[in-house]
């Protein structure tokens, strides 16, 4: 990683995520507990980076990457920082790469953090 984290450009509240996924809000909270995606408190409100939710649901490889990061000792804030730190060799951020065709490379890099 070569630069400072940039962070998500758009955040969703839990009700926003529920609406996009067409599920009840309590199910959204359960998905966060299951580490399908992560949420952080901003200005007292639990929010999810909009990048984590696609038209088809939760970004496909995100839960696996979050599990690997958690197993490597990362907490949610550290995982979010890692996902949004630009990397010239990807290029872009791991969060952007997950939405593209570079998810395997992101998972490989996350796995390397544990060693």
On the question of pLDDT at 91 being above 90, the answer is no
Structure tokens that stand for 28 in this block: 């959204």
Q: How far is CA 62 from CA 43, 44, 45, 110, in A?
A: 25, 25, 22, 11
Q: How far is CA 82 from CA 21, 63, 64, in A?
A: 25, 15, 15
Share of the chain above pLDDT 70, in %: 95
Provide the 10 A C-beta neighbour count for residue 94: 25
Residue bearing tokens 């580490």:
35
CA distance 46 to 104: 29
Specify the pLDDT at position 1.
Answer: 47
On the question of pLDDT at 4 being above 70, the answer is no
CA distance 30 to 4: 31
Confidence tier at 113 by pLDDT (50, 70, 90): confident
* Region 52-58 average pLDDT: 92
């Amino acid at each position: 990683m070569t630069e400072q984290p940039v962070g998500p450009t758009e955040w969703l509240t839990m009700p926003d995520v529920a609406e996009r996924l067409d599920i009840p809000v309590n199910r959204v909270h359960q998905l966060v507990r299951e580490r399908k995606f992560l949420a952080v408190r901003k200005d007292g409100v639990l929010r999810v980076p909009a990048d984590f939710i696609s038209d088809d649901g939760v970004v496909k490889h995100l839960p696996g990457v979050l599990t690997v990061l958690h197993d490597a000792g990362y907490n949610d804030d550290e995982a979010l920082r890692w996902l949004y730190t630009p990397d010239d060799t990807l290029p872009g951020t791991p969060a952007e790469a997950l939405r593209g065709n570079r998810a395997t490379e992101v998972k490989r890099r996350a796995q390397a953090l544990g060693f």
